[in-house]
């Protein structure tokens, strides 16, 4: 069924009683009157829409006020329209405007426009600042951090190994130096190791104790 057919069928359902039992005279005028009555919002329906359906959205506060005023018509007094309009504004805007209790609505709605513009500009600047900060200070990815940690650990092990190797090399050099200093195979272990400072001697040993220098 086409969309137009569905609409026509829905309309016919609403006026079925009039179609089935039309008046004897002025049937078309009566049908028209019934259509207008049943499909046009009554003042009560319009008021309900004002109370439940209208939202500020991306409209300016002054534009939103005119919309409420237009839909409410004469069904709402000015104070009620003002209160409804204030309730639909953002809380931080409403907190500022509620101080101006005696201000005319024409002035109050313009004030609301300026306040909204200020908040919008401030929010945009803050958003840009946060994006710049995050761009300038990139977060380190976990995978990258793990790789760096592994490299640092390997370098640490290599450095420790190099230190041990240098220590062993120095010990060997000192040992060779002592061997060259006291390196006579005919000497016993004590004299080969400690030379003239040895307190012991083991035979056979050909070491000859040197005399201290005379003054």
Q: What is the pLDDT of residues 65-106, one digit of tens each?
A: 998 888 877 777 888 888 888 888 888 888 888 777 777 888
Report the alpha-carbon distance of residue 212 to residue 215 in Å, rounded: 9
Residue 167 predicted with pLDDT over 50: yes
Report the alpha-carbon distance of residue 132 to residue 49 in Å, rounded: 44
pLDDT category at 26 given cuts 50, 70, 90 is confident
Residue 144 predicted with pLDDT over 60: no
Domain boundaries, the chain: 3-39, 43-135
**Residue (of 93, 60, 88, 57) closest to 72 by Cα position:** 88
Q: What is the pLDDT of residues 1-18, one digit of tens each?
A: 444 454 455 566 666 666
């Amino acid at each position: 069924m086409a969309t137009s057919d569905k609409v026509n069928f829905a309309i016919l359902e609403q006026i079925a009683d009039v179609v089935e039992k039309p008046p004897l005279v002025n049937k078309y005028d009566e049908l028209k009157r019934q259509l207008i009555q049943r499909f046009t919002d009554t003042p009560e329906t319009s008021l309900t829409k004002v109370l439940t359906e209208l939202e500020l959205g991306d409209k300016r506060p002054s534009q939103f006020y005119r919309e409420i005023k237009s839909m409410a018509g004469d069904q709402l007094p000015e104070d009620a329209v003002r209160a409804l309009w204030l309730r639909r504004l953002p809380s931080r805007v409403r907190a500022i405007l509620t101080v101006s209790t005696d201000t005319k609505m024409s002035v109050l709605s313009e004030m609301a426009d300026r306040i909204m513009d200020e908040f919008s500009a401030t929010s945009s600047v803050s958003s840009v600042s946060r994006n710049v900060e995050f761009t300038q200070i990139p977060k380190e990815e976990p995978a990258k951090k793990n790789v760096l940690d592994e490299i640092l650990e390997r370098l640490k092990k290599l450095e420790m190994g190099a230190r041990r190797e240098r220590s062993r090399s120095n010990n060997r050099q000192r040992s060779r130096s002592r061997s060259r200093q006291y390196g006579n195979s005919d000497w016993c272990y004590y004299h080969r190791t400690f030379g003239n400072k040895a307190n012991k001697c083991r035979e056979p040993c050909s070491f000859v104790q040197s005399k201290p220098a005379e003054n």
